[in-house]
């Protein structure tokens, strides 16, 4: 599921569904530093094949509590041309976890960094950046999202995907306000 709450039932989960405790931590100033460390690794291994490398997700929003997993979005020319990016990322230590139309996700063996691959200029790329930028701007939606995440994390979920799916309604509502903000302000991703 990307930031805009678009569930993709045709996703292949390498290794199958996982059940892990959902832990929400207060915002950690170390998260941007972890992103920067991995951004440099990804730049070194992909070079010009990475069109854009962005810190996305809750760890990219100062003040927002989050699972201690840093999400990184890497935009490439064609996500379906896996041979151009998966082998170099795997050689760097990342492990392929998700394969679905328009998106791949690799992660560290420690499960603390997720690298999302999408096509440069895609709806996927735009929606994650818009969601992040809006939450950086809107204190009320940041607080709403934090409250929902804490409430959902207190429940027991069969898999991590069930927890993510449970956030769909609030993400859709926040995204609607983010789209209005984008229209009103002229926000464009890539600025």
pLDDT greater than 60 at residue 127: yes
Looking at residue 190, its pLDDT comes to: 67
Mean pLDDT of the chain: 93
Confidence of residue 73 (pLDDT cuts 50, 70, 90): very high
DSSP 66: B
The domains found in the chain, sorted by start residue, are 15-184 (3.30.460.10)
pLDDT greater than 50 at residue 147: yes
Residue 114 to residue 161: CA distance in whole angstroms: 14
Q: Which of 170, 148, 152, 174 is nearest to 161 (CA)?
A: 152
Residue 77: phi and psi, rounded to 5, are: -60, -45
Q: What is the mean pLDDT of residues 21-25?
A: 93
What is the pTM for the complete model shown? 0.92
139-153 and 123-137 helices, crossing angle to 10°? 110
pLDDT greater than 60 at residue 2: no
């Amino acid at each position: 599921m990307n930031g805009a709450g678009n569930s993709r039932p045709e996703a292949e989960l390498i290794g199958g569904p996982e059940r892990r405790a959902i832990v929400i931590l207060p915002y950690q100033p170390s998260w941007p530093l972890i992103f920067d460390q991995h951004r440099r690794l990804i730049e070194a291994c992909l070079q010009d094949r990475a069109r854009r490398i962005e810190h996305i997700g809750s760890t990219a929003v100062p003040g927002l509590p989050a699972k201690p997993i840093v999400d990184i979005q890497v935009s490439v020319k064609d996500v379906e041309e896996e041979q151009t990016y998966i082998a170099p990322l795997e050689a760097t230590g990342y492990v392929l976890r998700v394969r679905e139309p328009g998106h791949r996700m690799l992660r560290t063996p420690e499960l603390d960094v997720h690298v999302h691959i999408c096509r440069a200029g895609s709806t996927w790329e735009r929606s994650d950046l818009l969601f992040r930028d809006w939450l950086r701007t809107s204190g009320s939606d940041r607080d709403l999202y934090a409250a929902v995440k804490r409430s959902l994390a207190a429940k027991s979920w069969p898999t991590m995907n069930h927890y993510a799916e449970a956030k769909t309604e609030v993400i859709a509502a926040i995204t609607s306000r983010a789209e209005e903000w984008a229209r009103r302000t002229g926000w464009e991703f890539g600025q």
